[in-house]
Amino acid sequence: MWFRILLFAFLGFVFGGPFGAVIGALIAAWLSSQQPRIVYGAGQSGERRRQTQTAFFRATFLVMGKLAKADGRVNEEEIQVATTLMNEMRLSPDQRQQAIDLFNQGKTPGCDIRGVLLEFRRAAGSGSLIQMFMELQLQAAYADGQLSQAEMQVLHEACEYLGVNRFTFEILHQRFQAQRAFYSRYNGGGYQQQGNYGYRQPVDNRSKLKEAYATLGVSPDASDKDVKRAYRKLMSEHHPDKLVAKGLPEEMMEMAKKKTQEIQAAYDLIQEERKRK
């Protein structure tokens, strides 16, 4: 805005002297005031947003069910991920039953996820909502600590219907793995949990810092400017209000908030380390 005002004021001065500069500045200010303001709630109309929220909800639990059954047996960890998600969303009894029904439907042999994902894609468009969806599915796929080939096939199938190419998925996957390592293995003040007896051993701070960089999707030798750009991009993509405005179910807002807290933690660690140098 200020650049435009100064530019118009300068041009006005060139062609009309001091009076022209004033007129130019006033015109620039008026033009800026006419531009549509960007507000988080302006992503979609109320009805369209509700449709997107419904599509997101249905796709989330249906695909989670298919992932859980992909390698043959639904284990306790996979059920716990879906249950935790339902708890964090604070679903009403009716919504919770819908989620359970969708999850069970996804577990049925030969369940076709194409229709529900194409519906979600049409409602969501592209970008941050679909990215958030894939992050949730990766979380479900890694519930038992590893990603099987059968689960990978389901994720690739989901990407195909959602218009996510393999290269984009691999970047998302790698960043998810880094985030998972940073916030799971290195949780608890720089110590790593071992076994079932509560034994903890120190974690190499260099490894922790490496995971923090990977969380932001930048290399350790990236410039301060590039680190900040990556951080701001991720924070913008996961901003709870922006995601809800685009159609993220409001019940999932807490999950989006946690995601931004995780991104913030990685950025803060990098900044602290760079200040020491």
Q: What is the pLDDT of residues 147-166, one digit of tens each?
A: 899 999 999 999 999 999 99
In a domain, 181, yes or no: no
The tens digit of pLDDT for each residue in 157-195 reads: 999 999 999 998 998 898 888 887 777 654 544 333 333
Q: Are 10 and 82 within one domain?
A: no
150 lies in which domain range? 42-175+200-276
Contact (Cβ atoms closer than 8 angstroms) between residue 138 and residue 100: no
Find, among 254, 259, 268, the residue nearest to 238 by Cα.
259
Q: Are 213 and 244 within one domain?
A: yes
The tens digit of pLDDT for each residue in 51-103 reads: 888 888 899 999 999 999 998 878 888 888 888 878 877 778 898 899 999 99
In a domain, 187, yes or no: no
Q: Are 145 and 14 within one domain?
A: no
In a domain, 235, yes or no: yes
Q: Are 160 and 113 within one domain?
A: yes
Residues 6+ apart with CB under 8 A from 48: 123, 247
Number of structural domains found in the chain? 2
In a domain, 113, yes or no: yes
Tell me if the pTM is above 0.75: no
With 80 as the cut, is the pLDDT of residue 242 above it? no
Q: Are 7 and 86 within one domain?
A: no
Q: Where are the beta strands (DSSP E) in the chain?
A: 191-194, 199-202
Helices assigned H by DSSP within 187-277 = 205-216, 224-237, 240-246, 253-276
β-pair type (199-202, 191-194): antiparallel
Q: Are 55 and 26 within one domain?
A: no
